[in-house]
Amino acid sequence: MSDAAGSAHSSVPCEQPHGSPVSHYGLSSPTLDAFDLPPAPASPTMTTPEAESRDRPERPQPARTASAEHDSLKYHLLGPSLTKAGQDTVDQTKVSEVIYNASKGSKFFNNEEVKDKNLTEKINKILAKRRQLEKIDLTSDQRRADDYIAELELSRDMSQVIVHLDCDAFYAAVEELDRPELKDVPFAVGKGVLTTCNYHARKFGCRSGMAGFVAMKLCPQLICVPMNFAKYMAKAEEVREVLAMYDPNFQSASCDEAYLNLTEYCQEHHMTPEEAVSQMRADVYEKAKITVSAGIAANAKLAKICSNKNKPNGQFLLPSDRQTIVEFMRTLPTRKVNGIGRVFERELDAIGVKTCGDIYAHRAYLAKLFGQKAFQFLMQCYLGLGRTIVKPAEDRERKSVGTETTFRELGDRDALRDKLRHVAEELEGDLKRTEYKGRTLCIKIKLHTYEVHTRQTTPPFAVNKADDLYRYSLPMLEKLMKEIPDLKLRLMGLRVTQIISTKKPGIDFFGRAAKTSSTSSKASTSKNEGTWETWPEEEFEEAAQQERNDEMNELEKLSQEQGHQEEERSAPEPQWQCPICSISQPPDDASFNAHIDFCLSKQTIREVVKSTAPSPEKQSIAPKPITKKGKRGRPKNEGSISEQQAREKRRAFFSLGNNN
């Protein structure tokens, strides 16, 4: 189902959510064809994907093609927020051209070009391996895939009401509360890289994760306001107070989105899921004065997808019916699934997997091409399965805690050590807040050429203090300084892994929290421990989030690089400021002397005295009043001002300015 379906009101946010759009999926959904349903597990013969998809309706091809040399790069440059709501009418081809031309020639562009080339080479290897696999009998692989599908179907849980709630253009909405005049104009929050765009700006192709100077090319009238995190966090807390009344154990996915399980609430209050969510959205608006959108489904994966269907200020319900869910996923582009980023999307697209429905036809190849975990994740996507456990983020098992910072090109050794100390202090704050310490310490740097290097070490004890973090990471930085001549950095980060909770009592000897079982996670068994494995979707979601974070960091550096280049291009030629009238003059001795001669003329002095009446302090800069004048108003017994005198006056003026 396309994003346009059920979102007729999505172009204009409503003032009150009571009358906001509410959509169902599948009220009159067609009967599924045979190829949409998993076959019997024991398939006697191998069926090729081509044969299985022969009778399928022809699907639209992606907008990008391989004909142009940089088509894949242009698509990649569209950014991490390509699937954000509010861009249905945007010509993404034109947007990609603007981004391509604006960033071409930059270090960021060169780095993206290298990454795109490397990905193309990787895809060529995948395709070569695919051609080899087509020559052998994969009957056993297909049988295992079918067995896994049957196993997954047995674990399908449709008894829960899972809701994903997402604030509409959150930062922008908060800014509009203080500046109502911004509601009807395109504006964004953030300067170097946009963190949020309102829906007026999105119509021009602007989106979060876009470099500010690129957005200005798409929408010259765009207004950019600086971020105010304290204000956003205060507003987010107001929203959370409402959510806690519906599910005390709701999970914050970020400051502006959350997962809730409303099963118990609906039962206790005798409400349908749609009624409960509509009421919750109204309560959020009444409390925080911002609108939110919601997706309602049987699991978290589906709810996340659905919350983007009826934005802004709407909700979308996917009925908890197997046939409806499979049909819904059949036409869903893979990129719409949380956990499939731009890289994985392109790899899947290369082998012909453009929608989740295409996954089934390629089931015999997926494990050999992408690995077992990717195979499991993709089969769950095809079936529309996901986790049904919703719990606070602090109760979820973490694997690492880290922080990193971007900055303008930095090469001074002492400055880099100071930066490392700053990062260590930031990480100490994060570890204190999350109540963890780590046994392994990793350092990450990104060169001015965008090349990434990482190193890790194992301190003699688990660390969480800035002094210890700095002490054990400094040798790694020093070694990198020696290994890389003329080291210049744009990013530095520290991360601890093998983390140990400093709060929870239920930690084993090695500091690992015991894994909890999920009603939906009984798909396979750990060979070593005999406990149920966690859903692989969480690992893919984390990887996709890291991909987005890396992209945001690189876009920030592009913005910094562009800003530095613009400063160099737009920096005016050094001007010599007249110490008498303070007007800047071209840096030419002859013309500057002529100007000072003019300023010292009798008529000019008279006008200055009349109009400005300089104070005694300012008179120290100008010539002292004289009673006798020679020709052209020059002080008697003095010739025209010399070049040396003019330069001395300039130096005096600039030294005064530097003290301010």
Residue 88 in domain: no
Q: What is the pLDDT of residues 497-552, one digit of tens each?
A: 988 888 754 433 333 334 433 333 333 333 333 333 345 566 677 666 666 666 55
The pLDDT value given to residue 509: 32
State how beta strands 315-317 and 292-297 pair. parallel
421 and 502 part of one domain? yes
The pLDDT value given to residue 171: 94
Residues 437 and 462 sit within 8 Å (Cβ to Cβ) = yes
Residue 195 in domain: no
Residue 608 in domain: yes
Q: Which of 92-101, 121-130, 343-352 shows the lowest per-residue confidence on average (mean pLDDT)?
A: 92-101
Residue 534 in domain: no
Q: Which domain holds residue 636?
A: 576-658
Residue 304 in domain: no
Residue 631 in domain: yes
pTM listed for this prediction: 0.61
498 and 589 part of one domain? no
Domain edge (last residue) among 507, 529, 561:
507
**Contact partners, residue 351, CB within 8 Å, separation at least 6:** 126, 127, 130, 362, 365, 369
498 and 583 part of one domain? no
Residue 226 in domain: no
The pLDDT value given to residue 551: 59
Domain edge (last residue) among 507, 522, 546:
507
Q: What's at 594, amino acid-wise?
A: A
Residue 589 in domain: yes
Beta strands in 121-249 (DSSP E): 162-167, 187-189, 196-197, 223-225
Select the more confidently predicted residue: 611 or 576: 576
**In the 3-class helix/strand/coil scheme, how is 632-652 assigned residue by residue?**
HHCECCCCCCCHHHHHHHHHH
The pLDDT value given to residue 91: 79
Task: Supply the CATH number for residue 493's domain.
Answer: 3.30.1490.100
Q: Which of 394-398, 520-524, 596-600 shows the lowest per-residue confidence on average (mean pLDDT)?
A: 520-524
Tally the C-alpha atoms within 13 A of residue 297's C-alpha that lie toward its C-beta. 32
> Smallest Cα–Cα separation from 421: which of 484, 471, 479, 495?
471
The pLDDT value given to residue 5: 37
Among all residues, which ones are annotated catalytic? Answer: 257
- Domains in the chain, number: 2
Domain edge (last residue) among 507, 538, 567:
507
**Helix (H/G/I), strand (E/B), else coil: 326:** helix
489 and 405 part of one domain? yes
402 and 502 part of one domain? yes
502 and 585 part of one domain? no
